[in-house]
Structure 1
Amino acid sequence: MCGIVAGVAQRNIVPSLLEGLKRLEYRGYDSCGVAVLQRGEARRVRTLSRVCTLEADARAIDLDGATGIAHTRWATHGMPVIDNAHPIFSGELIAVVHNGIIENHEQLRQSLRAKGYVFTSQTDTEVIAHLVHEHYCGDILTAVHNATRMLQGAYAIAVMCRDEPGRVIGARQGSPLVVGIGKEGVFLASDTFALAGSAERFIYLEEGDLVDIEGKDVKILDKEGQAVTRREIAFVRHASDAELGAYRHFMQKEIFEQPVAVARTIASVTGRETHQAGMPKPEELAEVTNVVMLGCGTSHYAALTACGWFEHFANVAARAEISSEYRYRDYVSPGNTLVVAVSQSGETADTLAALRYTQSMGEQRTLAICNVAASAMVRQCRWSFITEAGPEVGVASTKAFTTQLVALFMLAIQMGKQRGHVSESEAESYMRQLTALPDAMRNVLAREPEIMAWAEALYQSDHALFLGRGTHYPIALEGALKLKEISYIHAEGYPAGELKHGPLALVTDAMPVIVTAPNDALLHKLKSNMEEVRARGGRLFVLADSDTGLTVESGMRLIHMPAWFGALSPVLHVVALQLLAYHVACLRGTDIDKPRNLAKSVTVE
């Protein structure tokens, strides 16, 4: 949600700021803007359109300067109108961009108004700008430090001052902010992806940190104002990460990248050069009898799928909790619990808060399953499993989800082996199956033409129902989520056995019913549920393993998947549902990579 790019360069910084904003478009936004210090004044351009429009507008007024801040905004306080777009100014002196939510903004607003400050926006961000202005006495770092001490809530900010060119101040509390150091300048951004090409070395700010960028110099202070040193990390990103190549959209590209992403994730544990140094040692899991998994959206569905794996392979009680609800529950520890936080970005505000909540209740066994090694979640947890999905640009998660499933599966097998419920030979068999998974996923991707034909039959529907049983019920939920996210068709996922307890009332020939049908122990039950749909005139779209024996009948469309892939079957079926959602959205002409009202990294509550 929202995106910050800022910095001080040795040349005109505007192209770097705009390129950074383009790389942050995946987060979702409804306005954007850029401001620089140019010939002794702060100048800005803002728009309610895309970054490409902002770029043209900046070019039209010859926006040029070595010090600047830029932002993509996802509206929270105030409608998406120009006055609410960032950067936000306080007079002609202070310019601010901000991610997060200031919880005490109303009280601060009243106080500032009483002191003569006039508010021109509905944003909580304007409070920050005026506070910095109020505290400014010739040193912008001191002003920002004093202002942030009055803020309650979450924020990542970048601030510049007309009277101090060549200087940008950053601060973070609850929202991510990274410093990027390059040959042509020093930058701030919401994530490293925004600075690919501009910076080679990165410093992740800790909670409460302030950073003072002055020319090429970087100084970091903790929340007490004391100088500190933070670890510097070098990243190498490939240009292809940010390029579409032969694909129409990043989502399509990322769907087809899944076999490689899954193979990399498996190799990170089983290859000759393993690099999962943060994983717990087997003996450290020996006493675990309960697993609690925290996640939101797609990550929650990955955790929900894994519950069956932990129970079956490791014989431990497992439950998946929605972070935004769990953080407000009365926590009752079952003892000997492993808390697993699941997140693509590692910056998901609700999951971070739920994780902190469990830790405050005494839970010390915490593990992050995450795609970003230097994220807040990884740093907050005792252990970590870094998925190898690579950058995921499309807002609707695809390869992050399947690599999360692989990580959770491997963790369940490891726990089962340590607890004596999975033998050495069985573990080796499961690892061989994992190694074969990428090729099986390519087999599913080869069915794209058949899935496109389904999309032709579905794209004019207003509603859709997804059904699954066992570990495929969360896959039905994920399939429905993908369809609603990018096509805007109302879709719901249900356990197939629940049909007769309510949802069957919705089934008519106008309600397509998509079924994920693996050749598992529940197949005969699922067939009965499908007959219930056919008997009510419903239209069935069935993804069936090739060995199920299912054949096309009246009122049914059928795509034969590969043969049943055992416990890893959900990974294959979800790939087909991702493709279905993608092609339906293509036919409906929606903004697939940046669906309306949604953000990639949800860093506010």
Structure 2
Amino acid sequence: MAAEIAETPSVVARLVSEQGKAIGALGKRFRTLDPSVIVTCARGSSDHAAAYFKYLSEILVGVPVASIGPSVASLYKAPLRLRNAIVISVSQSGQSPDIVALQAAARKAGAFSVAVVNQTGSPLAATADAVIALHAGTERSVAATKSCIASAVALAALVAEWRDDAALRDAVAHLPEAFEATLARRWDNALPVFQAAPSAYLVGRGPAFPVAAEAALKLKETCMLHAEAFSGAEVMHGPMQLLQDGFPVIAFSQSDRSRQAMRASIDRLRALQGRVFAVTADAAGGADDLAVGATGHPALDPLAMLLSFYAFAEKLARARGHDPDRPSRLRKVTETM
């Protein structure tokens, strides 16, 4: 896991270099298709990358994105109505039968299909209308890291081309350097708090919310730590009841229109005696501030935050006495129906 986290900058550099033209052509295709809706199909970490795309599509392009449960096709065989739609399937292996089944059902229903995959010889890639290859290399760690970030970067690049956004395109091109800077940062000040914790919250808004969800998953997978993810708005409701002295929270906050609202949420959680570590690309240097390398675009900063979190989770797992490379109940490829 540690080695694959360290590979992420080079993986992203290879992705941008090898797939740039294909993603550019696909962005033009999206403009021609002018979809009224996009649906996504994924599970686990790949689903979090798809949810990140959802926020970018809805915020930057205005096209709604909905995640369809794969069982709708694989188990229920339900007919879909997807004329003038696009389906995006995200999968490291491209092998899970339920993901393949939903993509096939969506195509049959009239959707244009895009597979975002690491294994280009997979069934998912073979049956898609278009493929974005991640070029992440073999991922041996059960807990996906470099493939999840590569998937999110590929989808961010697609949004940049779809809306012909020069600023976002340029920031994507410079992500390898930003990720190198991010890997030089350490979150060691948060380790003792999470090492002793029985539970934790991960919080974010907008494109950072799927990052919070991915972070919560990684704490379960690698650290045997119960963790839940909430938006900065939802945590203000029922979840606040669990906050007691020192309850650990990591709050991801990018510099966009959500920043002020997230600041208010962080202040409120701290007032309730939560131990809140605030993650930003411009940390003020406080004891509970966690900094990452700035990417040059607020929509991409959550990905730098996720990379830093991965490195933190790998260290935390070992500090809690677990081997993050060998989760006892998990395996790399889960073929669900």
Instruction: Compute the TM-score of the two structures, normalised by the length of structure 2.
Output: 0.92
Deviations 1:529-555 (A, max 9, x none): 112211211111111221x6x452xxx
Using the TM superposition, give the Cα deviation of residue 591 of structure 1 relative to its aligned residue in structure 2, in angstroms.
2.5
Which of the numbers 536, 557, 579 marks the counterpart of 2:311? 579
Residues 557 and 582 (structure 1), Cα distance of their counterparts in 2 relative to 1, 3 Å cut: same
- Three-state SS of the structure 1 residue aligned to 2:89 is strand
**8 Å Cα contact 1:290/1:335 also seen in 2:** no
Structure 2 residue matching 1:369: 3-state secondary structure: strand
What's 1:566 paired with? 298
- Does 2:64 correspond to 1:317? yes
1:324 to partner: Cα distance: 4.2
Q: Could you list the runs of 5+ residues in structure 2 that have no partner in the other structure?
A: none
Question: Unaligned stretches of 5+ in structure 1?
Answer: 1-250, 418-425
Question: 2:91 pairs with 328, 334, 343, which one?
Answer: 343
Count of aligned pairs:
334
Q: Which of the numbers 243, 246, 262 marks the counterpart of 1:526?
A: 262
- 1:14-35 CA distances to partner (integer Å, 9 max, x unpaired)? xxxxxxxxxxxxxxxxxxxxxx
- Specify the alignment match of 1:557 in structure 2: 288
In structure 2, the CA distance between the partners of 1:377 and 1:279, relative to structure 1 (3 Å rule), is farther
Equivalent runs, 1:381-396 vs 2, <5 Å: 381-396=128-143
- Tell me the residue number matched to 2:18: 268
Question: Quick one: distance in 1 between partners of 2:208 and 2:154?
Answer: 17
Q: Which amino acid aligns with 1:462?
A: P
Q: Deviations over 1:205-239 (max 9, x none)?
A: xxxxxxxxxxxxxxxxxxxxxxxxxxxxxxxxxxx
Partner of 2:191: 455
Q: Does 1:478 align with 2:214?
A: yes
TM-score (norm 1): 0.53
Query: C-alpha distance in 1, partners of 2:289/2:23?
Result: 44
Provide the residue aligned with 1:502 in structure 2.
238
Offset of residue 569 of structure 1: 1.2
CA distance in 1, matches of 2:330, 2:304: 26
Corresponding residue of 1:64: none
1:591 counterpart (306, 323, 336): 323
Larger helix proportion of the pair: 2
The answer to whether 1:379 aligns with 2:123 is no
Output the CA distance in 2 between the equivalents of 1:492 and 1:501: 14
Asked whether the equivalents of residues 396 and 485 of structure 1 are also in contact (C-alpha less than 8 Å), the reply is yes
Aligned partner of 2:104 in structure 1 is 356
Amino acid aligned to 1:578:
Y
What code does the residue aligned with 2:231 have?
Answer: P
CA separation of 1:480/1:521 partners in 2, compared to 1, >3 Å: closer, same or farther? same
Would you identify which runs of 4 or more consecutive aligned residues in structure 1 move more than 6 Å? none
Structural mapping, 1:228-243, within 5 Å: none
Distance 1:439 1:376, change over 3 A: same
Secondary structure of 1:566's partner?
A: coil
Question: Cα 1:312–1:534, aligned 2, differ >3 Å: closer, same or farther?
Answer: closer
Q: Deviations over 1:445-464 (max 9, x none)?
A: 1013xx23322331121101
Amino-acid identity (%): 28
Mark the CA change 1:281 to 1:416 in structure 2 (over 3 Å): closer, same or farther: closer
Q: Which has the higher contact order (CA 8 A, sep 6+)?
A: 2
Work out whether residues 387 and 404 of structure 1, in 8 Å CA contact, stay in contact via their aligned partners in 2. yes
CA–CA separation in structure 1 for the residues paired with 2:77 and 2:250: 34
Matches within 5 A, 1:40-439: 251-270=1-20, 276=22, 280=26, 282-283=28-29, 285-287=31-33, 288-324=35-71, 327=74, 328=76, 330-360=78-108, 362-417=109-164, 426-427=165-166, 429-439=167-177
Q: Secondary structure at the match of 1:257?
A: helix
- 2:278 is paired with a residue whose SS is strand
> Considering only CA atoms, is the larger Rg found in Structure 1 or Structure 2?
1
1:353 is displaced (CA, Å) by: 2.2
Aligned counterpart for 1:440 among listed residues 166, 175, 178: 178
Q: Distance in 2 between matches of 1:509 and 1:350?
A: 43
Q: RMSD of the alignment, in Å?
A: 2.2
> How far apart, in 2, do the equivalents of 1:374 and 1:279 lie?
21
2:201–2:250: 8 Å Cα contact kept in structure 1? yes
* CA distance, structure 2, for counterparts of residue 321 and residue 402 of structure 1: 21
Q: Which is strand-richer, 1 or 2?
A: 1
* Structure 1 residue 438 displacement after superposition: 0.8
| Counterpart residue type for residue 465 of structure 1 | Y
